Amino acid sequence: MKADIVVFDPKTVTSPSTRHDPKQFPVGIDYVFVNGAAVVAQGEHTGALPGRALRHGNPSIRKMT
């Protein structure tokens, strides 16, 4: 079994994003692990791409009505 984990200090996380430049990486995210592989280490992207995008969610989960 694998997991996705984000390691950060909530006191130091900020977002440099603006309305005109919204695609900015947040500041203060120390580590991100996807499927057990480090994607961000010491605040820098490692280049690893171990996961995959979920385009339409999980079809086995039904909507609550």
Supply the pLDDT for residue 24: 92
Q: Name the strand (E) or helix (H) holding 5.
A: strand 5-8
Tokens standing for residue 32: 């991100």
Q: Tokens 């203060």 appear where?
A: 28
Supply the pLDDT for residue 61: 64
Q: What is the pLDDT along the chain (65 residues), one digit of tens a residue?
A: 678 999 999 999 999 999 999 999 899 999 999 999 999 999 999 999 998 877 776 666 666 66
If you write DSSP's letter for every residue of 14-54 in order, what string do you get? B----SSS---PPBTEEEEEETTEEEEETTEE---------
Total-model pTM: 0.71
